[in-house]
Structure 1
Amino acid sequence: MAVSHPETSGELIPRPALTLPALRQAVAVVCPSRLPEFFEGMQAAFVRAGDEDSVTPIRMFYREWGVVVEIARHPEAARRLKAAESSLDSDDAAVRDRAVREAGEIVRWAHAEVVGG
């Protein structure tokens, strides 16, 4: 399945590097209400990295938040994702199925942008 590109006009900020300072600053700008979640996830990733003696949890944290920021920095993509998430509560199974596909498409697109961008 090809991942379609959401409307990208009007990017709020440039794509940040996948580093702690850059992601922290980007979250503070495009989705500041999620900063507590960001810091909790960061703490968990660093603890897990120490427990596993591996940097993989930190890399996964950076990638996860890179995707969050990628969506949030594109207002149309963020709007589409929010609408899809709201539709998950529908009583209509077809509406829920479309919402799952839409959300998946947006997240796959953002992931591809972060990994390949």
Structure 2
Amino acid sequence: MTVQHTEPSGPLIPKPALTLPALRRAVATVAPSRLPEFFDDMQKAFVRAGDEGSVTPIRMFYRHWGVIVEIDRHPQIARRLRTAERAMDSEHAAVREQAIREAGEIVRAAHREIEGGRPT
């Protein structure tokens, strides 16, 4: 008898708020291998914000990681994106073009979702 592992069809976690604590917890759950990148990006954003005297780099950091979490909290969507990213290296132009379209659609949808469903 074999055991089949079924993947949940919905998100792994609820959509987090675009705050540092919520995004840190979300990344730790859905993409723990990316935590060093998250902390590096956070440091750069805060330094840049201080240098520029602007909160814009911090807002961009939150948005960037919000999109990453939005994709990775849906395993099927994350898998589609990774497949598209690999296909961008194809030697066939049509395959690369389709992969670019697929990846673009996934990322744009994630942006819309973190913006509350507004069209971008």
Query: TM-score, length-normalised on structure 1?
Result: 0.92
In structure 1, distance between residues paired with 2:111 and 2:11: 16
In structure 2, distance between residues paired with 1:115 and 1:56: 16
Residue equivalent to 1:33: 33
Bigger relative contact order (CA 8 A; separation at least 6): 1
Runs ≥4 residues deviating over 3 A? none
Residue identity in the other structure for 2:103: A
Residue equivalent to 2:10: 10
Residue 62 in structure 1 maps to residue 50 in structure 2: no
Equivalent positions of 1:61-80 (< 5 A) are 61-80=61-80
In structure 1, distance between residues paired with 2:52 and 2:101: 34
In structure 2, distance between residues paired with 1:9 and 1:56: 35
Residue identity in the other structure for 1:67: V
In structure 2, distance between residues paired with 1:59 and 1:116: 16
In structure 1, distance between residues paired with 2:109 and 2:15: 14
SS of residue paired to 1:79 = helix
**How many residue pairs end up in the alignment?**
110
Displacement of 1:9 after TM fit?
3.2
Query: TM-score, length-normalised on structure 2?
Result: 0.89
Residue 109 in structure 1 maps to residue 109 in structure 2: yes
Residue equivalent to 1:43: 43
Aligned-residue Cα RMSD (Å) equals 1.1
